[in-house]
Amino acid sequence: MKKNQAINTHVLFIILCVLIMFIGFSTVVSASDELTDATETISAVISDDFNSSTLNGSIWTFIDPRVDATLIMTGTRASITVPAGTSHNVWTSGNYAPRIMQNVSDTDFEVEVKFESQLTSQYQMQGIIVEQDNSNYLRFDFVKNATDTIVFAASFTDGTPTTEGDVIISPGNHSYLRVGRQGDQWTQSYSYDGTSWTEAANFSHALNVTSVGPFVGNHGIPVGISPAFMGVIDYFFNTSSPIVPEDEDASSPQIDLWYGDYQRFGDIGVPQKWVNILGNVHDYSGIASLNYSLNEASAQPLSTGPDGLRLQSSGDFNIEINVNDLTCDSNNSVVIIATDHYGNTRNEEVTVNYSCNNIWPETYSINWSSVASIEDSTQVVNGLWTKEPNSIRPSMIGYDHLVAIGDITWDDYEVTVPITINTPMESAYKPNVGIIMRWQGHYDKDGKQPRNGWWPLGALGLYIWDSQLNDYSLQIIGNDWGVIANDYSAKDLQVGVPYMFKMRAQTIGTNTLYSLKVWEQAEDEPSEWTISGYGVSGELKNGSAMLASHSNLTSISKSVFFAACMMRDALLSSV
């Protein structure tokens, strides 16, 4: 058809909601100011690999200043969880960080802690406290600011802090921290592997040491946006007397394939240039390497999460394979190889069947109650999705959850989506939900795996936080965040109310007019578009439709709240 003639219209329905799930742990220790009474005997620092289901009360005392933290002993780790919305900071107002402390003598020492938790939100922190008393102490830690991970050190004299170290580092899968004392001289070092160390701070400060131990904290500006955080502590060692071997591991890593070990692509059509094999790898001693090979070719390295972009949780992976590298109308072998830090290895094979000659029909409908799996009627691009009787939803909030529908050859079309937001979206983490038009696949922006460049494309139609309006608004966004159109009325979508989203891409001459409208599902469709505008330079002229649900907020405390995005009775039709 000619680009400026009749428009193929495709209609797609999606409902956004929130699922509440609860996480159980092997042992949960309820919070109190002194959960476990430690011995008053003062001695050298005692090493502990927390290889027990209970905290060793002869060594440790759990200190919980705000009486709202939770200490969990899993049998191989100790973890401390702080809830969202309350600051557990260590700064001018005092030391409000929950921590486990042991009484020690006032002598020279060097201690080492290994954290297996990642800092993903601003002002999460984990580190070591060295105390004389409640007003005189030192903090050494990893802390996340708006953009970077920092190795930080500060001294406190009568409650007044002095910054002693502030170094930006690259985040790693594991975070090791060492603190050494020789008289009044203090050193702080960090490592990604526990072998190669980098000094971050070296300073002089007089302190009559009485206790030392690991801490976990958070903060927010304002305090109400303080993010929840669970700090996972693998061990806390006196480097002169470590526990060897520490949690010796004879088991192989576990590889979870989110969509099974037999996956089909292209049966309906090809929505993008990649196929994605998604999953998670984990091992309690940590993953040393993760690779994959296609059809017995040389192994290729894989990144694991979190990366703050497309991999949300520790161990998440996303294998991107160019469809041109797959054997058409045949089975392809993808072998995933995971190795832990003890040399234990596990291989998992995924059979990928690829059909390359199908074109996604212009009239297309989805009834979730009649399909066996998500992959039967869409292509999952990112995230772990769950199919429910009449819907699909992402199982975890945090990264972009993306599902592609349609063909990479589509040009002019409409998408209609009912969306219900069932909990307030936290503006500090810039969540958004909406539709992507003319999608062809992620691009190599900076050499990272998986690729994280989301343009060039056609346009995004989103409900998103607008910093200029200081409110949410409807926006149409093009390449490089170029704003095509903005709803300056700051339309507020109410929690629990279903809304209809409709978006159109229409070629006019050499340009593309993108239009978006939103209305309550219970009302009649308005005749006018809410916003419209012409695409930006470099836009794609063809591509599939994609549904996107994104937020950086993940709360983990006594209960876990997952944002859920559901597509119900999805329908694409041509008019």
Matching residue, tokens 């008019």: 575
Q: What is the mean pLDDT of the chain?
A: 84
Q: Tell me which of 211, 238, 265 is where a domain ends.
A: 238
Q: Tell me which of 194, 210, 238 is where a domain ends.
A: 238
pLDDT digits (tens, 9 = 90+) for 487-543: 988 678 888 888 888 999 999 999 999 999 999 989 999 999 999 999 999 999 999
Using left for φ > 0, alpha for ψ between -120 and 50, and beta otherwise, residue 120 falls in alpha
Per-residue confidence band for 173, with pLDDT thresholds at 50, 70 and 90:
low
pLDDT digits (tens, 9 = 90+) for 50-108: 988 899 999 999 999 999 999 999 888 899 999 999 999 999 999 999 999 999 999 99
Predicted pLDDT at 35: 32
Residue 8 lies in a domain: no
What's 443's DSSP letter? B
Mean pLDDT confidence for 365-382: 87
Number of domains in the chain: 2
pLDDT greater than 50 at residue 446? yes
Using left for φ > 0, alpha for ψ between -120 and 50, and beta otherwise, residue 434 falls in left
At 158, list the tokens: 């009568």
Cα distance between residue 402 and residue 280, in whole Å? 17
Residues 108, 238 contacting (CB under 8 angstroms): no
- Choice among 179-188, 196-205, 337-346, 390-399 with the minimum mean pLDDT: 390-399
Predicted pLDDT at 397: 65
Predicted pLDDT at 427: 60
Quick one: 471 and 413 in the same domain? yes
Residues 574, 363 contacting (CB under 8 angstroms): yes
Quick one: 225 and 331 in the same domain? no
Residue 28 lies in a domain: no
Per-residue confidence band for 30, with pLDDT thresholds at 50, 70 and 90:
very low
Per-residue confidence band for 387, with pLDDT thresholds at 50, 70 and 90:
confident
Residues 254, 346 contacting (CB under 8 angstroms): yes
Length of the chain measured in residues = 575
Domain extent, residue 75, equals 45-238
Residues 448, 307 contacting (CB under 8 angstroms): yes
DSSP, residue by residue, 484-552: EEE-TT-PPPPTT-EEEEEEEEEEETTEEEEEEEEEETTSPPPSS-SEEEEPPTT--S--EEEEEEE--
Predicted pLDDT at 29: 30
pLDDT greater than 60 at residue 572? no
Q: What is the CATH number of the domain that holds 463?
A: 2.60.120.560
Cα distance between residue 348 and residue 258, in whole Å? 13
For residue 222, say if its preceding peptide bond is cis, omega within 30 degrees of 0: yes
Other beta carbons within 10 Å of 288: 17
Quick one: 178 and 137 in the same domain? yes
**What is the maximal distance between C-alpha atoms in the chain?**
86
Cα distance between residue 453 and residue 273, in whole Å? 14
Residue 54 lies in a domain: yes
Residue 154 lies in a domain: yes
Q: Dihedral (C-alpha) 333, 338, 343, 346: value to the nearest 10 degrees?
A: -60
pLDDT greater than 60 at residue 208? yes
Grouping H, G, I as helix, E, B as strand and the rest as coil, residue 435 is strand
Mean pLDDT confidence for 383-393: 80
Predicted pLDDT at 282: 86
Quick one: 197 and 283 in the same domain? no
37 against 385, higher pLDDT? 385
Sheet with 300-301: strands ordered across:
262-265, 345-354, 330-340, 287-294, 300-301
Q: What is the CATH number of the domain that holds 171?
A: 2.60.120.200
The residue ranges of DSSP E strands in 2-60, in sequence order, are 15-21, 28-29
- Choice among 78-92, 261-275, 314-328, 418-432 with the minimum mean pLDDT: 418-432
Q: Tell me which of 238, 271, 297 is where a domain ends.
A: 238
- Choice among 308-312, 360-364, 511-515, 569-573 with the minimum mean pLDDT: 569-573
pTM of the model: 0.63
% pLDDT > 90, the chain: 62
